[in-house]
Amino acid sequence: MQHPPRLPCLALIVALGAATGASAASTGEVEQGRALYAQHCAACHGADLEGAPDWQRPGPDGRYPAPPHDETGHTWHHGDVMLLDYTRRGGQAYLDDLGVVFDSGMPAFGDILSDDEIRAILAFIRSTWPEEIQAFQAARTAAETAD
């Protein structure tokens, strides 16, 4: 279980996140995301975002099972730009581009879901995190989108 790192100035990071509107999701968007998550993501990532059993160990095919999207996973270590791209293009295309050698079982959703639908799913996932983790991840997104 990983804990969020201690942040020297949480208020500043919250302000940065708020400035980009990264964490500003409407209730409607979150509810749309909840339904889309149940339909498209829950089979692998868990109905309660808990991930597949034993997700930290590769399965018999050598692939890692789907990790949780709740605060026990590592989804919150990434900014929204990365998460959108990963979901749109799938893990393999994303990691190949980075030159990372990894056999990914994460499918591409770009032909199934619009970017707005993926954004709604991410808004739903974020809404389940404790405030401190939301603030940390908002800062990641702010750093990703800074010029």
Which residue ranges make up the site for ligand HEC (CB under 6 A)?
40-41, 43-45, 64-67, 69, 73-75, 78, 83, 86-87, 91, 104-107, 109, 121
- Report the residue closest to ligand HEC, judged by CB: 91
Report in angstroms how near the CB of residue 20 gets to ligand HEC at its nearest: 19
Which is closer to ligand HEC, CB of 64 or CB of 142? Answer: 64
Tell me if 65 sits within 8 A of 55, measured CB to CB: yes
Phi first, then psi, for residue 60 (nearest 5°) are -60, -25
Helical H segments across 69-114, by residue range: 80-98
Residue number, 4 or 105, with CB nearest to ligand HEC: 105
In the complex, the smallest distance separating the C-beta of residue 84 from ligand HEC, rounded to whole angstroms, is 9
Reduced to 3 states, what is the DSSP secondary structure of residue 91?
helix
Q: How far is the CB of 64 from ligand HEC (least distance, A)?
A: 5
The nearest distance, CB 12 to ligand HEC, in angstroms, is 25
Residues 69/81, Cβ–Cβ less than 8 Å: no
**Nearer Cβ to ligand HEC, position 89 or 142?**
89
How far is residue 147's CA from residue 137's CA, in Å, rounded to a whole number?
18
Name which of 10 and 104 has its Cβ closer to ligand HEC. Answer: 104
Q: Smaller CB distance to ligand HEC: residue 19 or 100?
A: 100
Contact 47, 38 (CB under 8 A): yes
Smallest separation, CB 11 to ligand HEC (Å) = 26
At position 121, the amino acid (one-letter code) is I
Nearest to 105 by CA among 48, 59, 40: 59
